[in-house]
Each structure stands twice: as structure tokens, then as C-alpha cells.
């Protein structure tokens, strides 16, 4: 049996190749045949480069249907897709390329100069360009390739993608996800979320992370469902398209921004079947306001780069939890079928219902490990094969999982992860800085944002604005602290450790005054 993920997706749409697969916000229509043919041409281009099976294809391009086709081409040719956030700057990209050693890098034409320099220096053989207006050397070359391609044979545990994530500490690590991890999760969600004939997905998320790339795209493709494709999220456009669609997926910030639009009404949302939220905690206020304004109850689910989706509130009755078909705000629902989830104390004991501890998971969706980091992989798994998520939570008396915090020092801002240790490292390297701490504080739009607290060296003058300006020239924009304070001392405990909880408390009203 072929476990190639593309083969499974294609099986769902091969019966209606001439209907519309994607309609874009620019008014372009792509049929399923277009997806099949273009991904075949791109797969033939990649195969013609004579790169080995398992070679990494690193991609940092603006969102476009062609970028999705490149993802499908990589899958069907048996290579490994490595998506990179478009906000990453040169130092960040250099790290990923040096670490993953991709055989092929695809970037936008505007970035070709600096990206190709980094890539060729790191031993990459091919650098192509792909722009969001269907131009670039990748498509120029692919146009000469055959549109017939035989999908390669893959075992379930063959690697399909690497997603970089920082996990608990240190530099980013590449989570290796297999065809089997991705397909099993997509199949589970197809059933659990009741995907059906006639569903249409509004695709509004970026396609370099789990939510937009896997959950949303696989969901639509595995159901042979049309996507209404947005190059960039625009709340007005989503609301305008609701009468033509049935499913929407977003991080909480997208829901907050739609709620600010007067056009969002019960009438406008009446054709929709399902609103899914995840990647960051959904505030109960947002959950309730959405219910009042649209008559729909958001279905919140929980996942990670390392595991794809882990839990979900029920779409309909779940036979494992009789009488519990409610989507409960403030919870992330039940472990998905096939996922084992338990809560453990620091000393390794499994905790009973209602008690708070570290969330550990096991299942066919859970990754095999971090790219070329066997020691780190070992640390993150228990002896009996459970992955330690770094999330802290409990299972309530009805079986719902509630996330109450994280043991990892991580800020989730507008659905993007920011690792304080990384930002602090950059600040500490600045002239005149003795030390720094970055903490997450509540924010009305992004949920949480970073605030930096900096100590100057004796005799040095440091300005918060200058710290921010320097960071902007070095790091992806979403990682930049929204505010930077220069103070005399950081609060420390008796062991000398910075007490970030006190800083969080001190600045918690900065963006959300009472």
C-alpha cells in the first residue's frame, strides 16, 4: 500500500477534476485538474534535479496557490517540505538552512540576493524564485516539464515535512513529520469535524505553519472541497464570503478582528457550518461574543507542530463521552480518537481527574523526533513513548482537557510563537546592555505580546526605543517586543532566577487597562 499523503488526497478529488478546487481573492479559479497537473510538473522538475529521496525543499515565499502546489509536488515526489515564515530575516533563515541542509531553496524574487548567498554557502544546489503573482524561475522551469507524474511509493513513517519550532528551550529544532502522521490526523479530523459533500473552506491563514498548511489544506483536499483562498487575512472579506462557504479556521486574533466588524451578523453567518479556533488560547469573552453575534459556537481545538492536532471539542456527539456533545469555552475538548493524553506531575506520576500537571501525548499523529537532535528528542519523550508537550493543564470531570499554562517559556502572539530566550539573547548582545527579560502580557488584538525589561551596564545609557529599533533590523516583525523598559534591577528569587511572574504582573495592564 502506498502511504504517500498526496496519493490519499488525490483519491478524494480524482472523480471531479473539472470542478473548482480554489477560488482566490483575486478572482482566479483553479480546477482540481490544475492542482494535479501543476503539482505533477513541479514534481517532475524536482525529480529532474537528481536530488536524493528525503532531500529537503525549503520554501520562504508569500502565500499563493502555486506555493501550495509546490507543497503538493514535494509530497508526491517523496521529498521533505520545509516551510519558513515570510517574516524571517537573514540570521533566522541562515540558521534553518545551515541546520536542515536543503537541496533546494525557493524564495521570493525580491529576496533572491541574500537568500541564495546563504543557501549556496551552506551547500544548497538549487535556488529558485516564486512570487505571489505566478512569476519566478520555479514556474519558468516547471512549464517545460511533463504534466504526467507517477506519485512515489512511501512508507507511513517516511518523512514528509520538517517544521521548525523551539519547543522548550534553546535554538529552533526541526520536528520531523511523516506521511503517516499527517494523513492519520487529517483522516481523524475529517470524521470528527463532520466534513461532508458541499463543504467550502475559507482559507485565511498563512501556509507555513501547522494550522494553515496541514489542518486547513488537508481538511479541504481530503474532502475534495473547494477553498476560498485569501492571500492575506481580511476580516471584511471573510464576512463577505460566509454566504458561499461552510467552514472557517482561524487563530483567536482573526475572530477578535471579525467581531470588530459591524457586518458580522447571524444572517451573514447563517450558511456557515463550522468555525474552528486554535493555535493560541481563545478567550471565553471572544467565545461568548461570537455565539451572541453569529449564533455559532466556535469549536476550539489544540495542537502543536510536533503532533498536528491533539484534542478537539466535539462537533457532534462523541460515543466515548456520552451526553457530552457541548463545545465548552475555555476548554480544548477531548483527545482526538487515537490520541492518548495524560497529565503528569513533575515527579512522573499520572495525575487524577481535575489535577493540574504537564500534558503528555502519544498517537499516530505524534512526530518521530527532532531533525539531527537525538539527545533532545530523547529528553522530550518519556520512557513509555509519550511526548512531553510543555503545556500545563488538567482533564476535567467530564473529560474535557483544559490548558492552564505552559512550562515552556513561550509567548504566543497572534498565533505565532515567540521564544523569550531568543529575543533576550539578541538584546543582551547590544552595546551597553547588562541583561534583559522578555515577558508576555495580555493584548486585546494579539492575545499576548512581548514586553522587554532591560538593565543597562554601569555607566551606560540604553534607550528602550533603540533596543526595539535594533531588534527590528534583526528579527521577524512578530517577535519584536511591543514595548521595552529600561529599569534598575530585575526581580530575582533566592536562587538568583529572574521572577518573570512578577514582571508579568507588573505590566499586565499595559495594553488592557481595567
- Contact map string, positions 173 to 212, toward ligand MLC, x by CB under 6 A: --------------------------------xx--xxxx
Q: Which segment (107-115, 253-261, 275-283, 498-506) binds ligand AMP by CB under 6 A?
A: 275-283
**Angle ∠(303,426,373) on CA atoms, nearest 5:** 50
Name residues contacting ligand AMP, limited to 314-373 (CB under 6 A). 332
Which CB, 177 or 412, lies closer to ligand AMP?
412
Q: Which segment (30-38, 189-197, 274-282, 474-482) binds ligand AMP by CB under 6 A?
A: 274-282
**CA dihedral of residues 166, 170, 176, 177 (deg, nearest 10):** -20
Which CB, 30 or 96, lies closer to ligand AMP?
96
Roughly what angle, to the nearest 10 degrees, separates helices 5-13 and 65-76?
120
Q: Cα–Cα distance between 377 and 368 in angstroms, integer?
A: 8
Please, are residues 267 and 295 in contact by the beta-carbon 8 Å criterion? no
Among 165, 223, 286, 331, binds ligand AMP (CB under 6 A): 165
Which CB, 354 or 405, lies closer to ligand AMP?
405
Is residue 210 within the footprint of ligand AMP (CB under 6 A)? yes
| Partner whose binding site includes residue 206, from ligand MLC, ligand AMP, none (CB under 5 to 8 Å by kind) | ligand MLC
Which CB, 147 or 234, lies closer to ligand MLC?
234
User: Which sign, positive or negative, has the C-alpha torsion 458, 459, 465, 468?
Assistant: negative
Place of cell 468555525: 275
Is residue 363 within the footprint of ligand MLC (CB under 6 A)? no
SS3 assignment for 257-315 = HHHCCCCCCCCCCCCCCEEEECCCCCCHHHHHHHHHHHCCCCEEEEEECCCEEEEECCC
Please, are residues 390 and 407 in contact by the beta-carbon 8 Å criterion? yes
Least distance in Å: CB of 9 to ligand AMP? 22
Please, are residues 443 and 449 in contact by the beta-carbon 8 Å criterion? yes
Least distance in Å: CB of 408 to ligand AMP? 7
Please, are residues 511 and 448 in contact by the beta-carbon 8 Å criterion? no
| Partner whose binding site includes residue 332, from ligand AMP, ligand MLC, none (CB under 5 to 8 Å by kind) | ligand AMP
Least distance in Å: CB of 260 to ligand MLC? 12
The secondary structure of 442-463 as a DSSP string is EETTTEEEEEEEEEEPTT----
Give the residue closest to ligand AMP by C-beta.
305
C-alpha cell at 75: 509530497
Name residues contacting ligand AMP, limited to 287-306 (CB under 6 A). 300, 302-305
Residues 6+ apart with CB under 8 A from 379: none
Q: What are phi and psi of 258, to 5 degrees?
A: -70, -35
Name residues contacting ligand MLC, limited to 466-485 (CB under 6 A). 477-478
Is residue 304 within the footprint of ligand MLC (CB under 6 A)? yes
Name residues contacting ligand MLC, limited to 380-439 (CB under 6 A). 413-416
Q: Which of 262, 189, 251 is nearest to 220 (CA)?
A: 189
- Contact map string, positions 228 to 257, toward ligand MLC, x by CB under 6 A: ----xx-----------------x-x----
Is residue 417 within the footprint of ligand AMP (CB under 6 A)? yes
Which CB, 227 or 449, lies closer to ligand MLC?
449
Is residue 507 within the footprint of ligand MLC (CB under 6 A)? no
Report in angstroms the alpha-carbon separations of 460 from 223, 433, 434, 483.
61, 8, 9, 20
Q: Kindly list the residues in this chain that would bind ligand AMP in the complex (CB under 6 A).
A: 165, 210, 278-281, 300, 302-305, 332, 389, 391, 403, 406, 412, 417
Amino acid at each position: 500500500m502506498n502511504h504517500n499523503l498526496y496519493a490519499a488526497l488525490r483519491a478524494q478529488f480524482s472523480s471531479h477534476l473539472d470542478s473548482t478546487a480554489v477560488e482566490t481573492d483575486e478572482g482566479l479559479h483553479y480546477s482540481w485538474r490544475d492542482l494535479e497537473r501543476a503539482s505533477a510538473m513541479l514534481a517532475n522538475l524536482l525529480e529532474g534535479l537528481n536530488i536524493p529521496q528525503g532531500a529537503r525543499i525549503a520554501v520562504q515565499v508569500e502565500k499563493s496557490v502555486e506555493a501550495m502546489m509546490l507543497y503538493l509536488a514535494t509530497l508526491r515526489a517523496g521529498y521533505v517540505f520545509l516551510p519558513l515564515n515570510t517574516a524571517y530575516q537573514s540570521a533566522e533563515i541562515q540558521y534553518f538552512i545551515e541546520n536542515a541542509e536543503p537541496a533546494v531553496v525557493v524564495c521570493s524574487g525580491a529576496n533572491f540576493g541574500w537568500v541564495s548567498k546563504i543557501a549556496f554557502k551552506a551547500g544548497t544546489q538549487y535556488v529558485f524564485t516564486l512570487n505571489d503573482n505566478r512569476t519566478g524561475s520555479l514556474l519558468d522551469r516547471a512549464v517545460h516539464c511533463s504534466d504526467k507524474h507517477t506519485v512515489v511509493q512511501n512508507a507511513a513513517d517516511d518523512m514528509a515535512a520538517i517544521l521548525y519550532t523551539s519547543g522548550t528551550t534553546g535554538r529552533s529544532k526541526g520536528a520531523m513529520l511523516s506521511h503517516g502522521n499527517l494523513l492519520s490526523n487529517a483522516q481523524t479530523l475529517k470524521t470528527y469535524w463532520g466534513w461532508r459533500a458541499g463543504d467550502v473552506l475559507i482559507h485565511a491563514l498563512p501556509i507555513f505553519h501547522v494550522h494553515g498548511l496541514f489542518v486547513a489544506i488537508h481538511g479541504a483536499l481530503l474532502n475534495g472541497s473547494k477553498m476560498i483562498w485569501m492571500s492575506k487575512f481580511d476580516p471584511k472579506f471573510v464576512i463577505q464570503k460566509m454566504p458561499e462557504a461552510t467552514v472557517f479556521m482561524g487563530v483567536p486574533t482573526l475572530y477578535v478582528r471579525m467581531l470588530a466588524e459591524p457586518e458580522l451578523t447571524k444572517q451573514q453567518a447563517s450558511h456557515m457550518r463550522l468555525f474552528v479556533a486554535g493555535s493560541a488560547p481563545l478567550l471565553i469573552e471572544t467565545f461568548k461574543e461570537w455565539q451572541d453575534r453569529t449564533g455559532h459556537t466556535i469549536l476550539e481545538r489544540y495542537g502543536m507542530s510536533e503532533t498536528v492536532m491533539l484534542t478537539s471539542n466535539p462537533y457532534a456527539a462523541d460515543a466515548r463521552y456520552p451526553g457530552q456533545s457541548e463545545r465548552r469555552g475555555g476548554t480544548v475538548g477531548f483527545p482526538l480518537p487515537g490520541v492518548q493524553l495524560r497529565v503528569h506531575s513533575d515527579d512522573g506520576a499520572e495525575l487524577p481527574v481535575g489535577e493540574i500537571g504537564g500534558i503528555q501525548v502519544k498517537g499516530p499523529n505524534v512526530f518521530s523526533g527532532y531533525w539531527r537532535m537525538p539527545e533532545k528528542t530523547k529528553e522530550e519523550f518519556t520512557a513509555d513513548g509519550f511526548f512531553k508537550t510543555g503545556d500545563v493543564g488538567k482533564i476535567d470531570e467530564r473529560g474535557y482537557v483544559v490548558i492552564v499554562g505552559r512550562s515552556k517559556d513561550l509567548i504566543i502572539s497572534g498565533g505565532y510563537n515567540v521564544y523569550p530566550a531568543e529575543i533576550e539573547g539578541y538584546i543582551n548582545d547590544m552595546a551597553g546592555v547588562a541583561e534583559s527579560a522578555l515577558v508576555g502580557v495580555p493584548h486585546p488584538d494579539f492575545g499576548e505580546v512581548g514586553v522587554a525589561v532591560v538593565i543597562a551596564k554601569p555607566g551606560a545609557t540604553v534607550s528602550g526605543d533603540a533596543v526595539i529599533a535594533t531588534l527590528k533590523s534583526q528579527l521577524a516583525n512578530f517577535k519584536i517586543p511591543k514595548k521595552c523598559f529600561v529599569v534598575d534591577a530585575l526581580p530575582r528569587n533566592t536562587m538568583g532566577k529572574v521572577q518573570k511572574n512578577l514582571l508579568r504582573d507588573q505590566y499586565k495592564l499595559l495594553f488592557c487597562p481595567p
